Structure 1
Amino acid sequence: MAPFDVVLGCVMALLFILFSISSIARYYIKFTLFVVLSLIFATAPLPLMLFRPFDPRNALIPAALLRVSARLLGLRWTVRGIENVDDTRGAVILLNHQSGLDLYVLAVLWPLMARCTVISKRSLQYLVPFGTAAWMWGTVFIDRGAAHSARSILNKQAEAVRDHKRKLLLFPEGTRHSGDKLLPFRKGAFHVAIDAGAPIQPVVISKYHFLDAKRRRFGSGDIIITILPSISTDGVDKDNITSLVETTQSKMQEVFTRTSAETRPYPVCKEN
């Protein structure tokens, strides 16, 4: 047996032991697998994307592979409200933001919603080759530090939503968090919806009880993805956008609280 094979076998055995006995080791091993598998599965079909660049359908194969990797990490999901998706028109899709694992939620939603486009931060574009693949399936990158540039890009996306029936996916909280309350929503997505004359489509992801970054815990668990009925922007102008934001966040918070209670693990009862 070659020395390399012996070393590799020892390393794999050590990782298996650590994975079995240490929750902290399991956290880092699973997150490493998440990153590595995401990079491989998202970029492996990159040559095929060259035949139809910037087409949202380019993400369908990576999405299918990512769903497989989610299963391997012990994640299970249920999608509710599929009947609320209307592919005859564009929409602004709003999702709550908890972790990089939200990538798996996007992988679940992609085949359920036609012509999806994701808004992402500019730094992701430079994560080659993942950023290149994301660019090839139509991801729109914005520089959050350059407000004028970001507004210009979002204005163009409003045209795509209106004229090409795109589904524009955004995280209105702007940053990830693991609390029980959604963070205040930013208004950019709502301006896009009003400019496009398109509805808001809230999508709520239940809390990741299986994930605890502070205590370094990454277990197995369930995710409920709820697609809510669209919220019309007809007759809404920029003067009463605050009311639209508050209404949307209130509806999403209600569903987030309810579905998060459903996925909360039952406490283990100790026998006397």
Structure 2
Amino acid sequence: MICVLGLMYCIFSPRDPRHVATFGRWFGRMAPIFGIKIEVRFPQQVTLPQNCIYIANHQNYYDMVTAAYVVQPRTVTVGKKSLLWIPFFGLLYWLTGNLLIDRNHGYRTYSMLTKLKHTIKNRNISIWIFPEGTRNRGRGLLPFKTGAFYTAIAAQVPIVPICVSNTTDKIKLNRWFNGIVIIEILPPIDTQGYSKKQVRGLTRYCREMMKNKLDELNAEVTKSEYHGL
């Protein structure tokens, strides 16, 4: 229903980057249907940048309900081209202004990431990228690809990490309550002091920071749910 209504809504202003946050909230409001309570945490006394690269851990299809809830205004996501073939959702994903890349062709992917540095400033948008490149499906935080970090350095915009606590094997559709999911937005990381030669170091730094925060969030959720029982 969301996809059908969304297609009718977006057809009058296609590819407008404001739509992504709007429909992210729509999908996020489905959380109670899946029996989860979402808790969002923003960095204290920090204003999120107008233009930046958001990076987040990518777990499973439930990211549509959890991570999508915190997509900020004028932020578009980067997804694989095959998403376009998902009935209704794929067309809505494209029509809202998100970007599609062909991961089977490395040169095309690199070309797209190179163009993003101009797109960020020219369209006054932020970009959301899953640096793992695929869903980790409970295997822990996978190694990061460097594309998001290369783009941030080239565009001279900050990186904002977003950590979503574990949802793998947590959500059972036959239960009324499946616990809490904590989403924490970390403080922006300035990239202006980095050169392109330092992209791998920046990639490792961000991954380690997110891994440590995810360990904290997962431990906190487990503890709170244990005491809640």
Q: Normalising by structure 1, what TM-score?
A: 0.75
Structure 1 segment 1-272 matched on structure 2, within 5 A: 40-81=1-42, 83=44, 84-87=46-49, 89-110=50-71, 113-179=72-138, 181-208=140-167, 211=170, 220-264=178-222, 265-266=225-226
User: How far does the alpha carbon of each residue in 1:130-161 deviate from its partner, in whole angstroms, 9 at most, with x for none?
Assistant: 11111111111111111111111122222122
Judged with a 3 Å threshold, the aligned counterparts in structure 2 of structure 1 residues 64 and 231 are, in CA distance, closer, same or farther, namely closer
User: How far does the alpha carbon of each residue in 1:35-73 deviate from its partner, in whole angstroms, 9 at most, with x for none?
Assistant: xxxxx2133221221221101222355334322322111
Structure with bigger RCO (C-alpha 8 Å, 6+ apart): 2
- Residues of 2 paired with 1:135 and 1:85: CA distance? 29
Q: CA deviation at 1:188?
A: 0.6
The answer as to whether partners of 1:159 and 1:196 remain within 8 angstroms in 2 is yes
- Residues of 2 paired with 1:58 and 1:47: CA distance? 12
Judged with a 3 Å threshold, the aligned counterparts in structure 2 of structure 1 residues 62 and 42 are, in CA distance, closer, same or farther, namely farther
SS in 2 for 1:172: coil
The answer as to whether partners of 1:90 and 1:166 remain within 8 angstroms in 2 is yes
- Residues of 1 paired with 2:160 and 2:48: CA distance? 10
The answer as to whether partners of 1:210 and 1:221 remain within 8 angstroms in 2 is no
The answer as to whether partners of 2:161 and 2:188 remain within 8 angstroms in 1 is yes
The answer as to whether partners of 2:67 and 2:183 remain within 8 angstroms in 1 is no
- Residues of 1 paired with 2:40 and 2:110: CA distance? 32
Q: CA deviation at 1:178?
A: 4.1
The answer as to whether partners of 2:17 and 2:74 remain within 8 angstroms in 1 is yes
**Quick check: which one's helix share is greater?**
1
From the CA coordinates, give the structure whose radius of gyration is larger: 1
Structure 2: runs of 5+ lacking an equivalent: none
Identity of aligned residues (%): 29
Q: CA deviation at 1:243?
A: 1.4
SS in 1 for 2:66: helix
Structure 1: runs of 5+ lacking an equivalent: 1-39
Q: CA deviation at 1:125?
A: 0.9
Judged with a 3 Å threshold, the aligned counterparts in structure 2 of structure 1 residues 127 and 209 are, in CA distance, closer, same or farther, namely closer
- Residues of 1 paired with 2:228 and 2:29: CA distance? 29
Judged with a 3 Å threshold, the aligned counterparts in structure 2 of structure 1 residues 250 and 61 are, in CA distance, closer, same or farther, namely closer
- Residues of 1 paired with 2:21 and 2:215: CA distance? 30
Q: CA deviation at 1:92?
A: 0.6
Judged with a 3 Å threshold, the aligned counterparts in structure 2 of structure 1 residues 212 and 57 are, in CA distance, closer, same or farther, namely closer
- Residues of 2 paired with 1:73 and 1:105: CA distance? 11
Judged with a 3 Å threshold, the aligned counterparts in structure 2 of structure 1 residues 194 and 61 are, in CA distance, closer, same or farther, namely closer
- Residues of 1 paired with 2:123 and 2:11: CA distance? 21
User: How far does the alpha carbon of each residue in 1:99-142 deviate from its partner, in whole angstroms, 9 at most, with x for none?
Assistant: 111111343113xx221111111110122321111111111111
**CA RMSD, aligned part only?**
2.4
